Amino acid sequence: MDESDFEGTLVLEQLAVIGLVEDFFDAIDSDDVQRAVSLMKKAKINAFSIAIVVRKMEGSDGEY
- State whether residue 3 is helix, strand or coil: helix
Instruction: Give yes or no for residue 63 having a pLDDT over 60.
Output: no
**Are residues 38 and 44 in contact, defined by beta-carbon separation less than 8 angstroms?**
no
**Are residues 54 and 33 in contact, defined by beta-carbon separation less than 8 angstroms?**
yes
Domains in the chain: boundaries: 6-58
Instruction: Give yes or no for residue 4 having a pLDDT over 80.
Output: no
pLDDT tens digit sequence for 25-60 = 999 999 999 999 999 999 999 999 999 999 999 886
Instruction: Give yes or no for residue 5 having a pLDDT over 80.
Output: no
Phi, psi of 60 (to 5 degrees): -90, -20
H helices of 1-64, in order, are: 8-17, 21-29, 33-42, 47-58
pTM of this prediction? 0.82
